[in-house]
A and B are shown apart, each in its own frame.
Chain A
Amino acid sequence: MSDIFPKWTNKLPAMVGVAGAILVPTILAGITYYFTPKYTRVGYQPKQPVAFSHAIHAGQLGMDCRYCHTDVDKSWFSNIPASETCMRCHSLVAKDSPKLALVRESYSTGKPIPWVQIHKTPDYVYFNHSVHVTRGISCVKCHGEIQKMDEVYHSKPLSMGFCLECHRQPEDHIRPNEFVTQLDWAGEFDGKKAVHDWKVQPGISCSTCHR
Chain B
Amino acid sequence: MDNYLSIFTEYDVPGAFWVNIQLTFWAALGALLLGTVLALLRISPVASFRAIGASYVNLIRNTPLTIIILFGVLALYGQLGFNLGGDFQGNFFRLAVMGLALYHAAFVCEAIRSGVNTVPLGQAEAARAIGLSFLPAAREVILPQAFRGAIVPLGNTLIALIKNSTVAAVGSVATEASSTMKTMIEFRADIVIPIFLTFAVGFVIIVIPVGLLTTWLSKKLAVAR
Q: Answer yes or no: are A and B bound together in one complex.
A: no
